[in-house]
Every structure is written in structure tokens, then in C-alpha cells.
Amino acid sequence: MSLRLGDTAPNFKAVTTEGEIDFHEYLGNSWGVLMSHPADFTPVCTTEIGRTSQLHEEFKKRNVKVLVVSVDSVEDHYNWIKDVNETQNTSVQFPLIEDKGRVVSGLYDMIHPNASATATVRSVFVIGPDKKIKLTITYPASTGRNFVEILRVLDSLQLTANNGVATPADWKDGEDVIVVPAISTEDAIKKFPKGVRVVKPYLRYTPQPNKN
């Protein structure tokens, strides 16, 4: 059965390019992004691993740990990383998980038989510090992920977790946000000193609260 938002992310132990890990222990109090890719030594995956590596500092400043999984061996991962570093002008600094036994792929429903009986699809799971699943995205093997969107969603999830706001369509960090319906306009005016713009009783905007 597929995982749903709010479910606890299944824990697992695995061999990775950074050594053996216990997934939950590895995440600790950080946010996590767990991504699957169909296979090592494939073109789209090479660009994705490279882009993830290039964005290392962006993930780090958001307190996010990234892990990547495929059904290839850790030896294949080591050899492939050399190609990634060479062709994408980067240095991979996050774990690639060996999943030859398809344990992680099974726990996270990453193999979709109607797409491929053996290869994992391009799954993305964002996991909060509470180990709950906050976001899932699934791309087909032919389409590389949009990492701008992944960072944007992380910004939204971290902002909205405790601030009583939601983010509108196409929102980007620094733009106005929406006051959630559970907060009355009277309470919103008190809660958000930067001001509340009322368009409709149910549609109210305020400047992003965690920005100066």
C-alpha cells in the first residue's frame, strides 16, 4: 500500500556510499529528502544526482539531509559518482543507498510494475523532523525532477508548519502568504503585525512572517 501524507516514514537499515545507516537515526532532527532513481549510469539520473550535489548548500541551510536510492550496488554507486562528478562539475556529498534486495523500494512503493517491473520510478519523499511524510512526488523515468520546485516546497513546508499560514499558487520565498481559515480576521490582525489584506472573508494575505 502506498504511503500517504502524515504517515510515519518507514525506517530501514542500509548500506550506502557513506557507510551503513539507520534511516531515522541518520535524519536525527533534520528534514529529509529521499529520492529514488531508475538506474546508475543513465543520462537523466546523472543530471539529477549532479544537480542535487550542486544544491548541497541550499539543502544544508534548510536543515535538509538528502538520500538517494536505487536497486544498484554500492560498488556501482561509487563508480557512477566518478562520472557524475566529472560530467556535472560537482562533488557528490550525500549517501547513495544500495537496494539490491528492493527493501527500501518496497517500503516506499518505488517500483511501479506498469512502468517497469524492476526499476524504481523517480519518487520524492519529504520527511519532517517528526519522521512524518510531508510531501510525495512521482515522476516518470523519462522526466527529470524540478529541483527549484523541491526547494520551493521545502520553504513552504517549513514556513507553514508553525506560523498559521498557507502559501498560494506559484508562491516563492519572500512573497505574501495566506492566513489559514482557522484564524479569524480579528485574531489575524493581532497575530500578524505586518498587516492583513482582506480580499474576501476567506482570502486574506499577510507578508511572510519569518522575513524581516
Catalytic residue among 45, 67, 81, 150: 45
- What are the backbone angles phi and psi of residue 154, rounded to the nearest 5°? -60, -45
HSE value, Cβ hemisphere, 13 Å, CA-based, for 118: 4
HEC string of 63-90?
CEEEEEEECCCHHHHHHHHHHHHHHHCC
Q: Return d(Cα 204, Cα 170) in angstroms, integer.
A: 16
31 in Cβ contact with 130 (< 8 Å): no
To the query of whether residue 186 is one of the catalytic residues in this protein, the response is: no
Is there a contact between 134 and 126 (Cβ–Cβ < 8 Å)? yes
CA 153, CA 134: separation in Å to the nearest integer?
10
Strand partners, 36: 69
What residues are labeled active site? 45
